[in-house]
Homo-oligomer: A and B are copies of this chain.
Amino acid sequence: MRFATIEDGTRDGRLHLVSRDNSLCAPSRNAVNLQGALEEWDAMEPKLRIEYDLLNAGDGIPFDPSRALAPLPRAWQWLDGSAYDSHVELMQTAFNLAPIDNGGRPLMYQGLSDRFYSSVANVRLPSEDDGIDFEGEFGIILDAVQMGTNAVQAREHIRIIVQINDWSLRGLGAVEMKTGFGWISAKPACSMAPVAVTPDELGPYWRDARVDLALALDWNGARFGAANGYSMSAGFDELIAHAAYSRDLVAGTVLGSGTVSNVNFREIGSSCIAERRAIEILDFGTPKTEFMKFGDRIRMEATLPDGTPLFGAIDQQVVRG
């Protein structure tokens, strides 16, 4: 199934089913919003599947992604992993830092969740001097997960897959990281692509609790990277088990992969500017690529390999706050 959340004046928006080719949509007759659907997913899913079949038979109205909010315009929890070792190792090497060790467990931080920007929203930020950067990621949305859930059990709770831009302010990130407290100023609200999908929509490209698809990024119209999501050192199932060690995860928890990155970053490019700058430091001794300026656009989209649209595109501008 595919979902979008259309603006209706409420904070959580109105849940719509979206057809398999992203051309049509229809408001759900069974669930008002995605948060509500996730809170009673087992009872809701068969009803939504009937609606989805009707929609795919043509019973809908044209879907306009520019009218969509984030699939979850706000969530009770946003946890972001950093599961691509090629990214983590590259950053540490470029900045002459020791390898990061979380006692063998995945890397993860807690981010702000009370707002996810739509795919077309202008993103207001305070200053170009902060090192404005994008981070292309995949994410999952869970139904309720009990404390102590293991990675095998965790797979049953992966209900929705989304595509995320995790906005980052690099000038503040390194300073905050050194405190050990994680990021506050360096991690403003994230954005989500307009269409959220159930794992079966990916067919064979959802495997081992990972998204085996390329995430294409274009910065001001120029291709910046197209790394594949599969190479996570810990799959989403393991990220869930880690997150649930000492807490229940509320239905609607959003969990991110971290910046998508592959070992052949020199050929396929990067999913954030900081990674390209780290490569430049290794190659030239100094970074050459500057961070984003106000007015810059970033576009991100992962489709199926045959070009069939999936999440739709994030395509947005950063503006002076």
* Interface size in chain A (residues, C-beta < 8 A): 50
User: A182 near B183 (CB under 8 angstroms)?
Assistant: yes
Query: For the complex, is A66 an interface residue (Cβ under 8 Å from B)?
Result: no
User: A77 near B114 (CB under 8 angstroms)?
Assistant: yes
Contact mask A77-90 → B, CB, 8 Å, 1/0? Answer: 10100100000000
Chain B residues whose CB sits within 8 angstroms of the CB of A184 once the complex forms: 79, 108-110, 242-243, 245
Other CB < 8 Å A-B pairs besides A102-B181, A177-B180, A185-B246, 4 of them? A76-B114, A126-B147, A148-B321, A184-B245
Query: For the complex, is A20 an interface residue (Cβ under 8 Å from B)?
Result: no
Contact mask A179-214 → B, CB, 8 Å, 1/0? Answer: 111111110110000000000000000000000000
Instruction: Please measure, in the bound complex, the distance between the C-alpha atom of A79 and the C-alpha atom of B183, giving whole angstroms.
Output: 11
Among A204-261, those with CB < 8 Å from B are: 242-243, 245-248, 250, 253
Q: How far is the CB of A42 from chain B (nearest CB, A)?
A: 19
Q: Given A114-B250, A321-B147, A105 and B185 touching (CB < 8 A)?
A: yes
Instruction: Please measure, in the bound complex, the distance between the C-alpha atom of A115 and the C-alpha atom of B74, giving whole angstroms.
Output: 16
Instruction: Please measure, in the bound complex, the distance between the C-alpha atom of A245 and the C-alpha atom of B173, giving whole angstroms.
Output: 13
User: A82 near B181 (CB under 8 angstroms)?
Assistant: yes
Instruction: Please measure, in the bound complex, the distance between the C-alpha atom of A321 and the C-alpha atom of B245, giving whole angstroms.
Output: 10
Contact mask A56-91 → B, CB, 8 Å, 1/0? Answer: 000000000000000000101101001000000000
User: B102 near A179 (CB under 8 angstroms)?
Assistant: yes
Chain B residues whose CB sits within 8 angstroms of the CB of A248 once the complex forms: 115
Chain B residues whose CB sits within 8 angstroms of the CB of A76 once the complex forms: 74, 76, 113-114
Instruction: Please measure, in the bound complex, the distance between the C-alpha atom of A321 and the C-alpha atom of B184, giving whole angstroms.
Output: 30
Contact check: which of B105, B172, B180, B245 meets A180 at CB < 8 Å? Answer: B180
User: B114 near A182 (CB under 8 angstroms)?
Assistant: no
Instruction: Please measure, in the bound complex, the distance between the C-alpha atom of A237 and the C-alpha atom of B115, giving whole angstroms.
Output: 23
Among A81-120, those with CB < 8 Å from B are: 82, 100-103, 105, 107-115
A-B contact pairs, 22 of them (CB 8 A): A74-B250, A76-B113, A79-B184, A82-B181, A100-B180, A101-B175, A103-B172, A103-B175, A107-B179, A109-B110, A110-B111, A114-B250, A115-B248, A115-B250, A126-B147, A130-B246, A177-B180, A179-B180, A180-B180, A181-B182, A185-B246, A186-B246
Contact check: which of B100, B107, B182, B188 meets A109 at CB < 8 Å? Answer: B182
Q: Given A82-B181, A242-B185, A246-B169, A124 and B147 touching (CB < 8 A)?
A: yes
Query: For the complex, is A176 an interface residue (Cβ under 8 Å from B)?
Result: yes
Among A139-192, those with CB < 8 Å from B are: 147-148, 169, 172, 175-186, 188-189
Chain B residues whose CB sits within 8 angstroms of the CB of A321 once the complex forms: 147-148, 246
